[in-house]
Amino acid sequence: MITVDQPRQAAIDATLDLIAERGVPGLTTDAVAERAGISKATMYRRWRSKEELMLDAVASLVGEIAVPDTGSFAGDVRALLRNAVKLYADDRPSQLFPHLVGEMARNPALADAVRTGFLAQRRSALCAIVERARARGELRPEVDTELCLDLFAGVIYYRFLITGGPLTRRVADDLADVIVRGVAT
């Protein structure tokens, strides 16, 4: 039995897969409809444009992020960075995100969707870890929370998007150690 949300989810999945394969400029409603196994009329009942469909697909990337609570700042940072490395090692994100980042410079609506959805959710999880560590007295008082959040993600994104360097559990652990040494009491 087909549920009401199955065509929507099929279109979302097809959109993300096509962006990963072809980039945003290569995304067409014809290709999405064909890949999703739905009609263009079905798509246009849900989304008025390819842009709306793409924004909805990007918004769907935001999932519930488990905020680790290992009892220590070092353990929490290590767990969160290991999760990030695991996420970007998956095929779809590894192919999708470079295209999205490139398109963000040309498409303010997409940039806003990524920043207020995907990135905001991740920064919120990181912030919870920083604030919990601050409350336990594990951080130097002058540590800037926003800068700390940038440190967590910066190396991961730099390797992922710029250098193509390996993203491994060891990288996550080494980065966690460097961050903790830099900001801990």
> Which of helix, strand or coil describes residue 102?
helix
Taking only the tens place, the pLDDT of each residue in 99-139 is: 888 889 999 988 988 888 778 888 888 899 999 999 999 99
Proportion of the chain above pLDDT 90, given as a percent:
52
Report the C-alpha gap between 89 and 107 in whole angstroms.
Answer: 26
Which has more pLDDT, 33 or 112? 33
> 74, 75, 25: which is closest to 51 by C-alpha?
25
Which has more pLDDT, 66 or 180? 180
Judge whether residue 53 has pLDDT over 60: yes
**Residue 63 pLDDT:** 65
Report the C-alpha gap between 109 and 117 in whole angstroms.
Answer: 12
Structural domains present in the chain: 5-59 (1.10.10.60), 73-183 (1.10.357.10)
Q: How many Cα atoms occupy the beta-carbon half-sphere of 85 within 13 Å?
A: 21
Other C-beta atoms within 10 Å of 54: how many? 25
Judge whether residue 142 has pLDDT over 70: yes
User: Token match 């980065």: residue?
Assistant: 175
**Residue 182 pLDDT:** 93
